[in-house]
Amino acid sequence: MKIIIYQTDLEYSKQFIPYLGWSHLLSQDFKHVPAILYQQVYSYEAEKETFEQIFTRFNVNHPVGYTGRSMSVSDVIEIKEADKDSQYYFCDTFGFVRVPFDRYMVGKAEKFTRFMDNEQLCEKLITTIEHQICSDNEAYSKKGRKLLEACIKGNVEGVLISLTGWNLSSLMQLSSNNDTGV
């Protein structure tokens, strides 16, 4: 089986404070771990390991080449067994909890930050949110509230889909096509 360790990227996790337990995230209305704020710090193959063995390995006996912090609350472990879907486990205050985790969003915080650093896009985002929330149309107003919620939680997919109708992968593809003159 393959084991992959993810930790919050401290540079980009300002609105998601590392070391918070799963119940705290749920109390903040998170429905999944915000993978965009994580980075992969290590992966390896193992015959079979318990969570306790993995925790000890990344706290006491760091393997050669490991560059992450000691394993702690809010870290995520991906376990990929042959011919099975990956399973993700959140290091909670006590033990591990199986959680939804979108590994395809891992490491995209920098791209989202560059997107949000674009003054024109931010202005469009703010204007869109204002118009939608203040609308007399309940469906439109609800869409604005969802967009605002996505912004606050750092949900890049939610923001992009609300603004453009496109997800991040589609926009990245479109952007790379434009960069190559296609």
SS3 string of the chain? CEEEEEEECCCCCCCCCCCCCHHHHHHCCCCCCCHHHEEEEEEEECCCCCHHHHHHHCCCCCCCCCCCCCCCCCCEEEEECCCCCCEEEEECCCCEEECCCCHHHCCCHHHHHHHHHCHHHHHHHHHHHHHHHCCCCHHHHHHHHHHHHHHHCCCHHHHHHHHHCCCHHHHHHHHHHHHCCC
Instruction: Quote the percentage of the chain above a pLDDT of 70.
Output: 53
Query: What is the pTM assigned to this prediction?
Result: 0.61
Domain boundaries, the chain: 2-105, 109-179
Weakest mean pLDDT among 80-84, 110-114, 121-125, 126-130: 110-114
- pLDDT: which is higher, 98 or 34: 98
Q: Summarize pLDDT for 37-74 with one digit per residue, the tens.
A: 788 999 999 998 999 999 999 988 888 888 888 998 88
- Residue 157 reports pLDDT greater than 50: yes
